[in-house]
Amino acid sequence: MSDYKLHYFPESGNSYKLALMLTLCGQAFEPVWTDFGSGITWTEGWRRSVNPMGEIPVLVEDGVSLTQTAPILLRLADKFGRFQGTDETERFEILRWLFWDNQKLSGFMAAYRYRRAFTENPDRHVLDFMKARTDDFLNILESSLKEQRFIVGDKPTVADLSMTGYLAFPKHESGYDLDASHPAIGAWLGRIRALPSWAAPYDILPGKRMRCYV
Protein backbone atom coordinates (compact mmCIF):
# COMPACT_ATOMS: atom_id res chain seq x y z
CA MET A 1 0.00 0.00 0.00
CA SER A 2 1.57 3.29 -1.09
CA ASP A 3 1.11 6.67 0.51
CA TYR A 4 -0.07 9.34 -1.94
CA LYS A 5 -0.17 13.12 -1.76
CA LEU A 6 -1.57 15.08 -4.67
CA HIS A 7 -0.60 18.73 -5.22
CA TYR A 8 -3.56 20.12 -7.15
CA PHE A 9 -6.09 22.86 -7.56
CA PRO A 10 -9.79 22.04 -7.93
CA GLU A 11 -10.23 23.48 -11.46
CA SER A 12 -7.29 21.47 -12.82
CA GLY A 13 -8.33 18.74 -15.24
CA ASN A 14 -4.78 17.43 -15.19
CA SER A 15 -5.11 16.96 -11.43
CA TYR A 16 -8.47 15.29 -11.97
CA LYS A 17 -6.88 12.68 -14.26
CA LEU A 18 -4.73 11.45 -11.37
CA ALA A 19 -7.37 11.87 -8.66
CA LEU A 20 -9.81 9.85 -10.77
CA MET A 21 -7.29 7.10 -11.55
CA LEU A 22 -6.39 6.75 -7.85
CA THR A 23 -10.07 6.74 -6.87
CA LEU A 24 -10.99 4.13 -9.48
CA CYS A 25 -8.09 1.99 -8.24
CA GLY A 26 -9.35 2.29 -4.65
CA GLN A 27 -6.38 4.38 -3.51
CA ALA A 28 -6.74 7.18 -0.99
CA PHE A 29 -4.61 10.30 -1.36
CA GLU A 30 -3.92 13.37 0.72
CA PRO A 31 -5.01 16.43 -1.24
CA VAL A 32 -2.53 19.31 -1.10
CA TRP A 33 -4.46 22.39 -2.27
CA THR A 34 -2.34 24.84 -4.24
CA ASP A 35 -3.09 28.52 -4.73
CA PHE A 36 -2.58 28.37 -8.50
CA GLY A 37 -4.53 31.61 -9.06
CA SER A 38 -2.02 33.55 -6.96
CA GLY A 39 0.78 32.56 -9.32
CA ILE A 40 2.63 30.47 -6.74
CA THR A 41 3.65 27.85 -9.31
CA TRP A 42 5.62 30.56 -11.14
CA THR A 43 7.73 31.33 -8.07
CA GLU A 44 11.30 30.16 -7.72
CA GLY A 45 10.60 28.79 -4.23
CA TRP A 46 7.67 26.61 -5.33
CA ARG A 47 9.57 25.35 -8.35
CA ARG A 48 12.58 24.50 -6.21
CA SER A 49 10.55 22.73 -3.53
CA VAL A 50 7.64 21.17 -5.48
CA ASN A 51 8.09 21.00 -9.28
CA PRO A 52 10.94 22.50 -11.33
CA MET A 53 8.66 22.28 -14.41
CA GLY A 54 6.31 24.77 -12.76
CA GLU A 55 3.24 22.60 -13.25
CA ILE A 56 0.34 21.15 -11.31
CA PRO A 57 -0.31 18.27 -10.65
CA VAL A 58 2.47 16.67 -8.66
CA LEU A 59 1.87 13.21 -7.22
CA VAL A 60 4.07 12.28 -4.28
CA GLU A 61 4.26 8.50 -4.02
CA ASP A 62 5.92 7.23 -0.85
CA GLY A 63 7.88 10.48 -0.63
CA VAL A 64 8.95 10.52 -4.28
CA SER A 65 7.63 13.40 -6.41
CA LEU A 66 6.24 12.41 -9.80
CA THR A 67 5.16 14.82 -12.53
CA GLN A 68 3.53 14.61 -15.98
CA THR A 69 0.20 12.85 -15.90
CA ALA A 70 0.80 10.51 -18.85
CA PRO A 71 3.75 8.57 -17.41
CA ILE A 72 2.14 8.70 -13.96
CA LEU A 73 -1.09 7.18 -15.31
CA LEU A 74 0.93 4.44 -17.03
CA ARG A 75 2.86 3.77 -13.83
CA LEU A 76 -0.35 3.52 -11.77
CA ALA A 77 -1.93 1.27 -14.41
CA ASP A 78 1.06 -1.01 -14.18
CA LYS A 79 1.13 -0.95 -10.39
CA PHE A 80 -2.58 -1.69 -9.89
CA GLY A 81 -3.13 -3.78 -13.01
CA ARG A 82 -6.02 -1.54 -14.11
CA PHE A 83 -6.84 0.45 -17.26
CA GLN A 84 -3.98 -1.11 -19.25
CA GLY A 85 -3.71 -2.40 -22.79
CA THR A 86 -3.89 -6.14 -23.33
CA ASP A 87 -1.13 -6.42 -25.97
CA GLU A 88 1.61 -4.45 -27.78
CA THR A 89 -0.84 -2.99 -30.28
CA GLU A 90 -3.10 -1.66 -27.54
CA ARG A 91 -0.15 -0.35 -25.54
CA PHE A 92 1.05 1.53 -28.61
CA GLU A 93 -2.45 2.96 -29.16
CA ILE A 94 -2.65 4.08 -25.52
CA LEU A 95 0.64 5.95 -25.87
CA ARG A 96 -0.50 7.49 -29.15
CA TRP A 97 -3.67 8.90 -27.56
CA LEU A 98 -1.88 10.02 -24.39
CA PHE A 99 0.59 12.05 -26.46
CA TRP A 100 -2.25 13.47 -28.57
CA ASP A 101 -4.25 14.35 -25.49
CA ASN A 102 -1.37 16.15 -23.80
CA GLN A 103 -0.36 18.12 -26.86
CA LYS A 104 -3.76 18.70 -28.42
CA LEU A 105 -7.03 18.02 -26.59
CA SER A 106 -6.13 18.68 -22.95
CA GLY A 107 -3.36 21.08 -23.95
CA PHE A 108 -5.73 23.47 -25.74
CA MET A 109 -8.94 22.74 -23.80
CA ALA A 110 -7.16 23.50 -20.50
CA ALA A 111 -5.79 26.83 -21.64
CA TYR A 112 -9.03 27.80 -23.42
CA ARG A 113 -11.31 26.93 -20.47
CA TYR A 114 -9.00 28.57 -17.94
CA ARG A 115 -8.90 31.87 -19.82
CA ARG A 116 -12.60 31.75 -20.71
CA ALA A 117 -13.94 30.92 -17.25
CA PHE A 118 -11.35 31.88 -14.68
CA THR A 119 -9.76 35.08 -15.95
CA GLU A 120 -11.32 38.51 -16.12
CA ASN A 121 -11.48 40.09 -19.58
CA PRO A 122 -9.66 37.39 -21.58
CA ASP A 123 -8.28 38.42 -24.98
CA ARG A 124 -10.99 37.56 -27.59
CA HIS A 125 -8.42 36.81 -30.31
CA VAL A 126 -6.60 34.33 -28.09
CA LEU A 127 -9.90 32.72 -27.07
CA ASP A 128 -11.08 32.44 -30.68
CA PHE A 129 -7.82 30.82 -31.74
CA MET A 130 -7.91 28.32 -28.88
CA LYS A 131 -11.57 27.51 -29.42
CA ALA A 132 -10.99 26.80 -33.11
CA ARG A 133 -8.19 24.39 -32.22
CA THR A 134 -10.30 22.75 -29.47
CA ASP A 135 -13.25 22.38 -31.90
CA ASP A 136 -11.02 20.49 -34.31
CA PHE A 137 -9.70 18.16 -31.60
CA LEU A 138 -13.19 17.44 -30.25
CA ASN A 139 -14.32 16.59 -33.79
CA ILE A 140 -11.39 14.18 -34.17
CA LEU A 141 -12.31 12.49 -30.88
CA GLU A 142 -15.99 12.41 -31.85
CA SER A 143 -15.17 10.62 -35.14
CA SER A 144 -13.06 8.01 -33.37
CA LEU A 145 -15.65 7.35 -30.68
CA LYS A 146 -18.42 6.83 -33.24
CA GLU A 147 -16.67 3.58 -34.11
CA GLN A 148 -15.89 2.24 -30.63
CA ARG A 149 -17.02 2.29 -27.00
CA PHE A 150 -13.60 3.31 -25.63
CA ILE A 151 -10.68 4.89 -27.40
CA VAL A 152 -8.47 1.76 -27.36
CA GLY A 153 -10.03 -1.69 -27.58
CA ASP A 154 -13.33 -2.43 -25.88
CA LYS A 155 -12.36 -1.53 -22.32
CA PRO A 156 -11.46 1.78 -20.65
CA THR A 157 -7.76 2.54 -20.39
CA VAL A 158 -5.68 5.39 -19.02
CA ALA A 159 -6.02 7.01 -22.47
CA ASP A 160 -9.76 7.44 -21.81
CA LEU A 161 -9.14 8.72 -18.29
CA SER A 162 -6.62 11.24 -19.59
CA MET A 163 -8.94 12.54 -22.29
CA THR A 164 -11.91 12.90 -19.97
CA GLY A 165 -9.79 15.12 -17.71
CA TYR A 166 -11.20 18.42 -18.98
CA LEU A 167 -14.50 17.10 -20.33
CA ALA A 168 -15.98 16.03 -17.00
CA PHE A 169 -16.21 19.55 -15.55
CA PRO A 170 -19.48 21.54 -15.57
CA LYS A 171 -20.34 22.60 -19.10
CA HIS A 172 -20.69 26.32 -18.38
CA GLU A 173 -16.92 26.48 -17.72
CA SER A 174 -15.82 25.33 -21.17
CA GLY A 175 -18.98 26.46 -22.95
CA TYR A 176 -19.30 23.06 -24.67
CA ASP A 177 -22.56 21.13 -24.28
CA LEU A 178 -21.03 17.90 -25.52
CA ASP A 179 -24.19 15.78 -25.26
CA ALA A 180 -25.72 18.08 -27.85
CA SER A 181 -22.72 19.00 -30.00
CA HIS A 182 -20.72 15.74 -29.87
CA PRO A 183 -23.10 12.84 -29.05
CA ALA A 184 -20.47 10.09 -29.34
CA ILE A 185 -18.29 11.92 -26.81
CA GLY A 186 -21.36 12.46 -24.62
CA ALA A 187 -22.18 8.72 -24.68
CA TRP A 188 -18.53 7.81 -23.96
CA LEU A 189 -18.46 10.21 -20.99
CA GLY A 190 -21.59 8.42 -19.75
CA ARG A 191 -19.75 5.08 -19.96
CA ILE A 192 -16.84 6.56 -17.99
CA ARG A 193 -19.23 7.96 -15.34
CA ALA A 194 -20.74 4.47 -14.99
CA LEU A 195 -17.40 2.94 -13.88
CA PRO A 196 -17.55 1.69 -10.28
CA SER A 197 -16.22 4.36 -7.85
CA TRP A 198 -16.24 7.10 -10.53
CA ALA A 199 -16.43 10.55 -8.94
CA ALA A 200 -16.93 14.03 -10.37
CA PRO A 201 -13.99 16.47 -10.38
CA TYR A 202 -15.10 18.86 -7.64
CA ASP A 203 -16.07 15.91 -5.38
CA ILE A 204 -12.51 14.59 -5.28
CA LEU A 205 -10.64 17.89 -5.73
CA PRO A 206 -11.90 19.78 -2.68
CA GLY A 207 -11.09 23.23 -1.33
CA LYS A 208 -11.33 26.87 -2.19
CA ARG A 209 -12.38 27.50 -5.78
CA MET A 210 -11.40 30.27 -8.14
CA ARG A 211 -13.81 32.95 -9.14
CA CYS A 212 -15.71 31.79 -12.23
CA TYR A 213 -16.54 34.63 -14.65
CA VAL A 214 -19.00 32.74 -16.87
Ligand X SMILES: N[C@@H](CCC(=O)N[C@@H](CS)C(=O)NCC(=O)O)C(=O)O
Q: Which residues bind ligand X (CB under 6 A)?
A: 12, 14, 41, 54-56, 68-70, 102, 110
Shortest spacing between CB 77 and ligand X, in angstroms:
15
Q: Which is nearer to ligand X, 70 or 145 (CB)?
A: 70
**Separation between Cα atoms, residue 65 and residue 79, nearest integer Å:** 16
**Separation between Cα atoms, residue 92 and residue 19, nearest integer Å:** 24
**Separation between Cα atoms, residue 213 and residue 118, nearest integer Å:** 6
State whether the Cα torsion 57-195-186-213 is positive or negative.
negative
Q: Which is nearer to ligand X, 78 or 179 (CB)?
A: 78
* Cβ-contact 213, 120 below 8 angstroms: yes
- Give the Å distances, CA to CA, from 53 to 8, 15, 38, 46, 205: 14, 15, 17, 10, 22
Shortest spacing between CB 199 and ligand X, in angstroms:
18
Q: Which is nearer to ligand X, 123 or 179 (CB)?
A: 123
**Separation between Cα atoms, residue 6 and residue 1, nearest integer Å:** 16
Shortest spacing between CB 146 and ligand X, in angstroms:
27
- Give the Å distances, CA to CA, from 202 to 70, 179, 210: 21, 20, 12
The residue with its CB nearest to ligand X is 69
Shortest spacing between CB 70 and ligand X, in angstroms:
6
Shortest spacing between CB 56 and ligand X, in angstroms:
4
**Separation between Cα atoms, residue 192 and residue 16, nearest integer Å:** 14
Q: Which is nearer to ligand X, 23 or 41 (CB)?
A: 41
Q: Which is nearer to ligand X, 68 or 181 (CB)?
A: 68
Residues in the chain, overall count: 214
Q: Which is nearer to ligand X, 74 or 178 (CB)?
A: 74
* 3 state SS of 153: coil
Phi and psi at residue 166, to the nearest 5°: -95, -5
Shortest spacing between CB 112 and ligand X, in angstroms:
12
